[in-house]
Amino acid sequence: MTFLRELLAVILGVFISFFIMFFIFFAIGSALSSSFMEEERILVKDNSVLVLRLDKQIRDFAPKSDDPFEQLLGFEDERIGLNTVINAIDNAKYDEKIKGISIESMFLRAGIAQVQEIRDKLNEFKESGKFIVAYADYYDQKNYYLSSVADSIYIYPEGGLDFKGLSSEILFFKDFQDKYGIKMEVIRHGKYKSAVEPFLANEMSEANREQTFAFLNSIWGELVADMGENRGMTSERINEIADSLLARNPNLAIENGLLTGQMPKDQYIKLLKNLSEVNEDSKLSRISVENYIKSGKGRIMSTAKDKIAVIYAQGEIMYGKGDERIIGQELIKEALQKAKAAKDVKAIVLRVNSPGGSALASDIILREIEITKEEKPVVVSMGSYATSGGYYISCNADRIIAEPTTITGSIGVFGAIPNISEFSKRIGINAEQIGTNKRSVGYSIFEPMNEDFYMVTREGIERVYNTFVTKVAEGRKMTFEEVDSIAQGRVWTGKEALEKGLVDELGSLEDAVRTAADLVGITEYRVRNYPDYEKEFKDIFKGPFAKVKENMLKTELGESNYQALQRIKEFSELKGIQTRLPFLIEIN
């Protein structure tokens, strides 16, 4: 009887498990089917206005997730690909159903170089003769920069405009470390390598202050020139408005030419109807850029047989496989090898948007690029960031193209290791080490860094720095001394990097693709995006839980505090020698 009861219990358990799994997969299938049908139902109506809200995180490449749980829970819609936004604006230029574009952004979650690329594409859109207008309850500087491309710019009467020039804030932790006995042991090469400066001092070094002021001025100069061109104002006048806060309220902003007018949103809708030649009593057809992309307008259709591969390297560089957010040498190597092996791929563009990271992973990626170049040309397109390791993997490409506002360079190296020896003593913890040989005992976070460990690590950092500079010198056809004079960890904008010989020209991803096509002599081609992000079955279940945790922290801490926490966490988890962007650069 006991055996029969246990057998029945097992059978019942298996039956219930199958029932639960069937229900889960049925729910997933229904969700995916519903999502597919929703995309199928999206149609662009006549006399439509394309709405650019752009309130989701903008990544250079944001492929549709193959994680069924992300799709079921709606997490995959929290980001949007810059490439698809650019394609959508390009398609809207020739789409007879689109009458114009309404920019209705508030707070852009994008890098300045990404915004510049969108803005340049909107300027091209205006060549069609269609209208672009902008509206917001409030404009911060990044959103105003995007919106200034519009023919007319409107604001809610009680809204506001933040327009005062750029600034950057860096947090310093030396007093915190001294107070609590928890610190980072730091070894670096490069007087400008400010990634570790917050752990060594209580204020900016003169070298860091110099470089920060220089690149902020360079970026601001680009923004001012672009805004001035569209608003019909001189750079001197725009700087006067910023210096004297002459746009601090809607009336002053209108009086000084930054805004066209003020009105409630309902009146703005009436304005859109008039511009679209829609009867005032009829409903205005507005389609978001996300839905426009889902309708099939996020791609440039082509029947060309030849292809240009665009490989997206976005995020921190970390040793390992990598994914959509992290550059790992395994995934990038695989993408380069696939593009090299594909007969219809004639040239390769590596789109780099990275603050850098692991020196080892960067070197492995660079080696694969050098191998790939032997068969097919490789052109680098730099996004918002291509610094340190991001520049390392770029330096030996056939051509390097950056946006004027790209932050690049930072050719320097550091090592940083957490140490809690003082803290552990205060709370009564003592660690003892024992080993078989004179130097067999390695570094311990419970003991101060010893001379042997410092010497070996310093030697490794010097070796990596010399290799870094040598690689750049070879790739850029410069001497070691010439590169060293502009290296030392210093950050440059794309415009400055062009003057220093670190990049070949200024331009967008599209420009880089055209350059790659020119190098192989083709005029008809289509783009093939890499890498192919595929999750293993065991990883599928990790995503939803991590996303729930992330959303909870964002809700409790706020977006800016959450990002600061993440950067501190990432910094504390760094392994090996790093070629990485200065710590916590925020441009406001």
Asked if the model's pLDDT at residue 69 lies above 60, the reply is no
pTM of structure: 0.84
Are 382 and 528 members of one domain? yes
User: For 228-238, how does the pLDDT look when each residue is reduced to its tens digit (9 = 90+)?
Assistant: 999 999 999 99
Helix or strand or coil: residue 374?
coil
Which of the listed residues 297, 315, 335 is the one where a domain comes to its end? 297
Query: CA dihedral defined by 358, 359, 360, 361, rounded to 10 degrees?
Result: 50
Domain that holds residue 479: 307-580
**Token digits for 223?**
């923004």
pLDDT of residue 78: 79
User: Average model confidence (pLDDT) for the chain?
Assistant: 86
319 within domain boundaries: yes
Residue 513 lies in a domain: yes
List the single range of 252-266, 283-297, 319-333, 526-540 with lowest mean pLDDT.
Answer: 526-540
**pLDDT (tens digit, 9 = 90+) per residue, 444-487?**
888 888 888 888 888 999 999 999 999 999 999 999 999 999 99
Q: Does 381 share its domain with 483?
A: yes
Give ∠ CA 361-318-212 in degrees, rounded to 5.
Answer: 100
pLDDT of 30 strictly over 70: no
| CA atoms of 489 and 486, how far apart (whole Å) | 8
Q: Do 456 and 533 sit in the same domain of this protein? A: yes
Instruction: Identify the pLDDT of residue 13.
Output: 58
Q: What pLDDT is stored for residue 36 in this prediction?
A: 44
Q: pLDDT tens digits, residue range 35-55?
A: 444 445 788 999 999 999 998
Give the long-range contacts of residues 149-154, CB within 8 A, separation 24 or more. Answer: 149/103, 149/119, 149/122, 149/123, 149/226, 149/230, 150/103, 150/230, 151/126, 152/260, 152/261, 153/258, 153/259, 153/260, 154/259, 154/260, 154/261, 154/262, 154/263, 154/268, 154/271
Would you say residue 538 has pLDDT above 80? no
265 is catalytic: no
Say which of 93, 130, 193, 297 is annotated catalytic.
193
Residue 174: inside a domain, yes or no? Answer: no
Q: Which residue has the tokens 């001394």?
A: 481
Within a domain: 585: no
Q: Is residue 292 part of a domain?
A: yes
418 and 486 both lie in a single domain: yes
Same domain, 283 and 342: no
The pLDDT confidence band at residue 66, using thresholds 50, 70 and 90, is low
- Evaluate whether residue 458 is within a structural domain: yes
pLDDT score recorded for residue 6: 58
Same domain, 387 and 490: yes
252 lies in the same domain as 372:
no
455: tokens are 């010497």
Number of CB atoms found within 10 A of residue 362's CB: 29
- Is 355 in the same domain as 273? no
**Statement to judge: residues 368 and 251 lie in one domain:** no
Residue 214 lies in a domain: no
Catalytic entry in 102, 285, 384, 388: 388
Q: What is the tens place of the pLDDT at every residue in 85-130?
A: 999 999 999 999 999 999 999 889 999 999 999 999 999 999 999 9
Q: What sign does the dihedral 535-363-350-563 (CA atoms) show?
A: positive
pLDDT: is 551 or 161 the higher one? Answer: 161
Cross-strand pairs, 371:
none
Last residue of a domain, one of 297, 319, 334: 297
The total number of structural domains that make up the chain: 2
Indicate if 388 belongs to the active site: yes
The CATH number of the domain holding residue 527 is 3.90.226.10
